[in-house]
Every structure is written in structure tokens, then in C-alpha cells.
């Protein structure tokens, strides 16, 4: 139901045309007290009487001028072609000359032209509008005061529209619960031609075509649900759609011509048995609706709950059993990127179907790459080669994936077309100059928002020149970005890092057959070669495994086997740190899969001790520190971390957020500008906040194994998008973590 009554916004409101939309507007205005008087005008006396009997209007008239006399706002809810004669009558009547006039038609260009012809100019009080709402029922008896709630209303003011008139019409719709947006008249008609008018035209045409065939009885007898859903709109009012198509002819023809060209290409693909083209159409179409909804809502690719999710971690759990955690995120990203740029078809198993990796898939789909899946971790990538990417249809939206944005910047810097990279509100606050500045030194032209933040606009067609870059701080993302740019730069590109970082990019480039030279801390690549498709089995992510590694260390009588975990030497900092703390760890069944070392990791209960974490291990465990802080809190003595300032610019300031939570649990903590000092000791329970950071939420879930009281972890909803089966794996091992929806 609409919101409760408030002070009236205006005096007399006249609604001309008491069909579903007009009558619903009138009913909402009257019930909410948005005006002092609601008058209805309709040529059918019985409709006016029904509206009066139902309480939709205060008074009704069949005479237009009598009903509109001295009205402050007039809403025209009539067929598109009927608006012209009505506007002419209003223009000729002195009693309506000062009224604000708005409408609900789905074609704005024709309405504005009719108004200009009637008045000789566009009135300052003219506010063209279009509610995107409806019902399968019609007529005054279907009037619904809540019809517009949570629906869009598009207003298309002209250059001379008076601000007061625009504000008043906006407020009327907003008080009815509508989401009001503004758009130019031309853009509105083009968009509606594509999203509403063209689908109706196709539905009418398809049903009419099938009905004229000899086998029409069987066609309709055996029609499946999809056919019925699509053709349902062919039952709409023929007169209304006749008027719409004639009124919006040019925009509809433009969309129809584009569709015809695409249909011809689709027909040719069927005739030629071109499965690659068909698969491209089908895979893009399958995800298109969700993709654009994601962009419009500025949210993640995997929808999180609208309400807060709270993890409730009970003390007294255990950690015993064998599990396999999801695939490595870093490798999943790179399989899509390198597979797309390779020649041939790359097959992937074990792909992480999480938020960030899905953003990378969509980015390359936007650039014309055919990608099948993911389905249960399997992805098939039909590579286009280094120079086969196509201009995306608009900005590339990467959700909350900083990895996608930074690595993709290197690839896009070498393309012939312009691209803009955008992200959600969280990503838009994160710095990108770490990749933008060195890319500019190579010759790239990159524009950013203030302080180097997204969106990033990368101008195509600029020649890149290879260079040597000494990284000021260790970062696998910066290194990978520059190596990917080096694929397109003349000569050689080399990067020297101050400390070891993940080397997945180097390993995977070699796995795709591209020569890479590695000497000590310097990686070098030269352009002029190509990537060849391959098969990749993504190992389990050691960052995800780290939560259960620590769980096994701190739980009593624990014995956990983590299967098929990637143990790339640049990722094993968490293992090295836990060993220094005294953890009982054994690495079993070591093997090499797709160029990456993989092993089963067995963890048992351990008596941990505090340490000063060696500086050289910090970059090798940067993502695992939240859960390592839990290990430190359970250790005997003091643990000191320095040189980890990068933790302050992750999804949240992980140093301060973890420190706040640990203090709540009774742990002695001191924060440093680049680290933290933790004195191990007993832990209580309480309310902690993850601030939407999945690693924080999972880390405090692990802490419950040593807590004396329950821990309630607010803001845990993002775990579902990054580690979808975390709670199930906890339960399998015996950890007592559940979820509840916040208030």
C-alpha cells in the first residue's frame, strides 16, 4: 500500500482518462491526500460513475473543459494519438492556461510535437512523463493505489520546463512510491522502442504469422510455456499499439533494422552450421538480463541479501575430517584472461564461481569472447587471439573486483578501442594509480577520477613501448598488469619486485606457451609471440584453506585434511608463518597440475606461540592475515606484524576492524601504522562487525573454537559471494557456525 497521508502538494488535480493508469493515479492521489480535490474526466459516463462509486475521484465529468477548469495539475492518461486534440482544447481555453500538464504515454516525441502545435510553443508547465507499470487487468475497476510502488517513472522535461512544475510532478509520483528518473525525449523513445515497442511488434507478428499457417491448430495445441510467455503480450489492446507504432515510427524502425541485421546473421550461422557464432549469441543472451540488472543496481554479480546477515559462532565446536575448498581465485581470473587471448579453445575445471571471477568472465564476454559456463566449476573459453577482442558495447562493469580492474587495465592499454572500467561503490574508492602510472610510462593514455580512483577510461590506439619497472612496493596485481601490457608493447617489458609476490601470471603465461624469463626478482616478457589454448585444472585456493588450517591448529583434538590445495611457493606464507608458530602441518601427495604445485595439507591441534612475523613472508600471506590474527590471539606470548600497510586498503581497513573485534573478545591488541601487536590469551564472546568483508567474518567464525561465549558477526552476507559453501564445510568438520537474518 502507498504511504500514509501527508500535507497536500497541490489544489485541484484533474485526471483525463480513467483507465487503469489514470484511475490508479487518481486513487493514489486521493487516498494519500496529495491534493485537495481529485477530478476525473472520461468520455464514458458509466466510467465516471464507477470511479465515483469506488471512491477513486471526488467528482467526474464527460466535458474536458468543465473538468479541467482551474485545475492546478492535469494528467492526460489517454491513447497517444488522442492527446493532440485534447491539448488543442486546453490551449484554447483561458481557464486551463496556467495548469501544469503531464501525461503517461509511452511515446514522448509525438506528445511534445502535439503540445507545440497546439500551444504554438512548449508551455513552461509541460512535464511529459511515462510510468513503467501496468497490470493484466484494465479499466477503472482495476484501479490500484499501489500500482506505481517500486516501479520506475520516467520524466522527460523539455529545455523550457519550469523547475517548480518538474519538482511538483516528481513529488506526486514519488509520494505514490515510484522511482522517478529523468531522460531526454529522444533517448526515452529510443529506449522504449527497444525494450517495449519492439517486443510487442514481434509478438503480434509471430502470433499472426503462425495463425495463418495450415498447421496452426497443432502449433497452438502444443505450444510450450516459453511460447505462451512471449506471445502473451500479443493480447494487448490493438488500438493502443496501433497508435504507439505510428507515433514512435522512426525509433521503432531503427531498432527493427538493427534486429533484422542480427537475425540475418543468426540465420546465416544456422545455415552454415556455425556453432561458434550460435554459442556466442546464446551465452551472452543467457546472462544479459542479470548482467544489466547488476550494472543498474551498482551491485555485485552474485546477489547478496538485502538485509544484514549475522553469523552466530557457538563455542565448543570441533575440527575433524577431509574437505576440499573452492578453486583458487587468482588462477580463476587468469584462466579467463589468458584463455580469451589464446588461439584455440581452453577448457577449465575447478573454476571458482565467485563474485570476482564472474566479473572477469562478463568483461570478456562484453568484448566478444564466447565463454561457456561456469557449470559446476567447468568453463570453456573460445579464444580470439591477442588481437581479437572487440569494442564493448559500453563501460565494462567489474563489480567489486579490484583484480579484474587492475589486470584488465594492462590488456586494454594495448587495444585499438577506447574502454571505460567501472565498479561498485566500494571499488570506486580504491586507488588505481599503482597500475595507471606505470602504464602511462609505457605510453598508455588513462583517465581516472580524483586521486586515481575509478572509473578508468583507457584510450585505445596508442603505441605501447616496453620498459623496465622497479616496483616501489610488492604487488602481484601491478606486476601482472604490466606483464599483460607487455604482450602488446614493442620490445621487452620487465618488472623487478622488492619482495616475492604471487607468480601465477608468469607460470600461466608459460602454461599457455608464451616465453617468460625469470631471474631472481625480475620477470621479463617480450612481445611478438602468441598464446596457445590449453587445459587447466584450478587447484583449491590456499587463502580459503587458511581458515580451516587455523581452525585445526586452535581446536582441541583436531585432525583436518585439506585436499588438492595449491602450494605455489609465492602463496605459502600462511604455511610458513604457522610453522614458525609451532603448527603441526604435513604436506602430502605433492604433484604438479597445469604448472602449479598442488598437495594435500594435513593439520592437527597445535600449541602455538607468538612470533615476530618475518618481513619477507608478509607479501606471501597478505590475504591470510585476518585469520592469522586469530591464530596469534590463541598463541602463547606476543605476535608482531609490521610492513603490512596494504591491509588498510582492502575491502575495509583489516587491521583496525580485526583489532576492534579482538578487543571485544577480550584480546590485548595494539595497532601500528603498518601492522599490529597481539598478545595471546583467553577469548570471550560478543558482537563483532565484519563491515561487509568476507575474510573478517570467516576469521571470527574460526575464533569461536576457542571462545568462551558465542560470537555474533554482523555484516557477513558477502561470504556467500566469495566462499559460497563456507558454512557447509564448517558443519562438515564440526564447527558450530550458523547464519541468521538481521533486523
**Where in the sequence numbering do the catalytic residues fall?**
623
Helix (H) or strand (E) holding 685: none
CA pair distance 457, 448, nearest whole angstrom: 6
* Sign, CA torsion 489/494/496/502: positive
| 190's grid cell | 529510443
| 355's grid cell | 563474485
| 105's grid cell | 504515454
Q: Encode burial over 383-407: b for 16+ CB neighbours within 10 A, e otherwise.
A: bbebeebeebeebbbbbbbbbbbbb
Residues sharing a CB contact under 8 Å with residue 209, sequence separation 6 or more, in sequence order: none
CA pair distance 180, 171, nearest whole angstrom: 9
| Bridge partners (DSSP) listed for residue 740 | 310
The closest of 564, 601, 567, 568 to 583, measured between CA atoms, is 601
- Long-range contacts, stretch 152-155, CB < 8 angstroms, 24+ apart: 152/178, 152/179, 152/180, 152/181, 153/129, 153/178, 153/179, 153/180, 153/181, 154/129, 154/130, 154/181, 154/182, 154/183, 154/188, 155/102, 155/127, 155/128, 155/129, 155/130, 155/180, 155/181, 155/182, 155/183
β-bridge pairing 126-127 and 100-103: parallel
**Residue 12, SS3 per DSSP:** strand
Q: Tell me how many degrees the CA angle 571-620-485 measures, rounded to the nearest 5.
A: 80
CB count in 10 Å sphere of residue 35: 22
Under 8 Å between Cβ of 34 and 57? no
CA pair distance 312, 307, nearest whole angstrom: 16
CA pair distance 477, 483, nearest whole angstrom: 10
CA pair distance 106, 17, nearest whole angstrom: 15
> DSSP label at 406?
H
Under 8 Å between Cβ of 359 and 721? no
> DSSP label at 2?
P
CA pair distance 495, 515, nearest whole angstrom: 15
* Sign, CA torsion 499/505/511/515: negative
Q: Encode burial over 206-228: b for 16+ CB neighbours within 10 A, e otherwise.
A: ebeeeeeeeeeeeeeeeeeeeee
| Bridge partners (DSSP) listed for residue 687 | 712
Where in 209-360 does DSSP place strands (E)? 309-313, 320-323, 343-349
| 314's grid cell | 557457538
Residues sharing a CB contact under 8 Å with residue 561, sequence separation 6 or more, in sequence order: 321, 322, 323, 600, 601, 602
Under 8 Å between Cβ of 56 and 145? no
Is the preceding omega at residue 81 within 30 degrees of 0, hence cis? no
Amino acid at each position: 500500500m502507498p504511504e500514509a497521508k501527508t500535507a497536500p502538494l497541490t489544489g485541484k488535480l484533474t485526471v483525463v482518462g480513467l483507465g487503469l493508469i489514470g484511475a490508479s493515479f487518481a486513487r493514489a492521489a486521493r487516498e494519500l491526500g496529495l491534493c485537495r480535490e481529485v477530478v476525473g474526466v472520461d468520455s464514458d459516463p458509466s466510467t465516471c460513475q464507477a470511479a465515483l462509486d469506488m471512491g477513486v475521484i471526488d467528482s467526474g465529468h464527460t466535458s474536458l473543459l468543465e473538468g479541467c477548469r482551474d485545475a492546478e495539475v492535469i494528467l492526460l492518461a489517454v491513447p497517444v494519438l488522442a492527446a493532440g486534440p485534447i491539448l488543442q482544447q486546453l490551449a484554447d481555453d483561458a481557464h486551463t492556461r496556467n495548469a501544469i500538464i503531464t501525461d503517461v504515454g509511452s511515446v514522448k516525441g509525438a506528445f511534445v510535437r502535439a503540445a507545440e502545435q497546439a500551444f504554438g510553443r512548449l508551455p513552461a508547465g509541460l512535464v511529459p512523463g511515462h510510468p513503467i507499470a501496468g497490470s493484466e487487468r484494465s479499466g477503472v475497476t482495476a484501479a490500484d493505489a499501489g500500482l506505481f510502488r517500486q516501479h520506475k517513472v520516467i520524466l522527460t522535461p523539455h529545455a523550457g520546463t519550469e523547475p517548480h512544475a518538474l519538482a511538483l510532478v516528481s513529488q506526486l509520483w514519488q509520494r505514490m512510491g515510484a522511482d522517478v528518473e529523468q531522460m531526454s525525449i529522444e533517448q526515452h523513445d529510443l529506449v522504449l522502442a527497444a525494450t517495449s515497442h519492439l517486443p510487442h511488434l514481434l509478438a503480434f507478428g509471430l502470433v499472426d504469422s503462425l495463425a495463418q499457417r495450415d498447421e496452426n491448430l497443432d502449433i497452438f495445441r502444443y505450444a510450450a510455456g516459453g511460447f505462451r510467455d512471449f506471445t502473451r503480450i500479443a493480447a494487448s489492446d490493438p488500438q493502443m499499439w496501433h497508435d504507439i507504432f505510428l507515433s514512435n515510427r522512426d525509433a521503432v524502425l531503427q531498432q527493427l533494422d538493427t534486429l533484422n541485421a542480427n537475425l540475418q546473421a543468426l540465420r546465416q550461422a544456422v545455415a552454415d552450421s556455425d556453432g561458434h557464432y550460435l554459442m556466442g549469441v546464446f551465452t551472452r543472451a543467457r546472462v544479459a538480463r542479470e548482467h544489466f540488472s547488476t550494472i543498474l543496481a551498482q551491485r555485485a554479480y552474485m546477489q547478496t541479501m538485502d538485509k544484514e546477515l549475522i553469523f552466530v559462532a557457538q563455542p565448543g565446536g570441533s575440527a575433524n575430517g577431509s574437505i576440499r575448498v573452492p578453486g583458487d581465485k587468482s588462477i580463476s581470473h587468469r584462466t579467463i584472461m589468458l584463455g580469451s587471448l589464446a588461439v584455440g579453445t581452453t577448457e577449465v575445471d575447478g573454476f571458482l564461481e565467485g563474485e570476482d571471477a564472474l566479473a572477469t568472465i562478463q568483461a570478456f564476454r562484453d568484448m566478444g569472447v564466447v565463454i561457456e559456463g561456469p557449470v559446476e566449476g567447468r568453463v570453456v573459453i573460445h579464444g580470439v587471439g591477442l588481437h581479437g577482442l572487440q569494442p564493448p558495447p559500453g563501460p565494462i562493469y567489474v563489480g567489486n573486483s579490484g583484480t579484474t580492474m587492475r589486470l584488465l587495465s594492462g590488456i586494454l592499454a594495448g587495444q585499438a578501442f577506447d574502454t571505460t572500467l567501472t565498479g561498485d561503490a566500494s571499488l570506486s574508492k580504491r586507488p588505481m594509480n599503482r597500475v595507471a602510472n606505470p602504464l602511462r610510462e609505457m605510453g598508455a593514455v588513462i583517465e581516472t577520477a580524483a586521486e586515481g580512483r575509478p572509473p578508468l577510461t583507457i584510450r585505445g590506439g596508442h603505441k605501447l613501448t616496453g620498459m623496465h619497472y622497479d616496483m616501489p612496493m610488492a604487488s602481484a596485481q601491478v606486476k601482472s598488469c604490466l606483464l599483460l601490457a607487455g604482450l602488446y608493447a614493442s620490445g621487452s617489458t620487465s618488472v623487478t619486485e622488492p619482495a616475492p609476490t604471487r607468480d601465477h601470471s608468469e607460470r600461466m603465461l608459460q602454461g599457455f606457451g608464451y616465453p617468460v624469463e625469470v631471474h631472481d626478482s625480475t620477470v621479463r616478457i617480450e612481445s611478438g609471440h602468441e598464446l596457445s589454448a590449453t587445459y587447466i585444472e584450478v587447484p583449491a585456493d590456499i587463502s580459503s584453506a587458511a581458515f580451516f588450517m587455523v581452525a585445526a591448529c586452535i581446536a582441541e583434538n583436531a585432525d583436518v585434511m585439506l585436499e588438492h590445495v595449491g602450494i605455489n611457493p609465492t602463496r605459502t606464507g600462511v604455511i610458513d608463518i604457522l610453522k614458525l608458530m609451532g603448527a603441526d602441518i604435513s604436506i602430502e601427495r605433492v604433484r604438479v597440475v597445469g604448472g602449479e604445485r598442488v598437495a594435500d595439507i594435513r593439520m592437527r591441534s597445535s600449541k602455538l606461540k607468538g612470533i615476530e612475523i618475518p618481513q619477507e613472508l608478509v607479501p606471501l600471506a597478505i590475504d591470510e592475515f585476518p585469520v592469522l590474527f586469530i591464530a596469534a590471539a590463541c598463541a602463547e606470548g606476543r605476535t608482531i606484524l609490521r610492513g603490512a600497510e596494504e591491509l588498510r586498503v582492502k575491502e575495509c581497513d583489516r587491521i583496525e576492524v580485526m583489532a576492534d573485534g579482538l578487543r571485544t573478545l577480550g584480546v590485548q591488541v595494539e595497532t601500528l601504522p603498518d601492522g599490529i601487536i597481539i598478545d595471546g590469551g583467553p577469548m570471550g564472546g560478543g558482537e563483532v562487525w565484519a563491515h561487509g568483508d568476507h575474510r573478517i567474518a570467516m576469521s571470527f567464525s574460526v575464533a569461536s573454537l576457542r571462545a568462551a561465549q558465542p560470537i555474533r558477526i554482523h555484516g557477513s552476507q558477502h561470504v556467500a559471494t566469495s566462499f559460497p559453501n563456507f558454512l557447509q564445510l564448517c558443519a562438515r568438520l564440526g564447527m558450530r557456525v550458523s547464519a541468521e537474518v538481521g533486523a
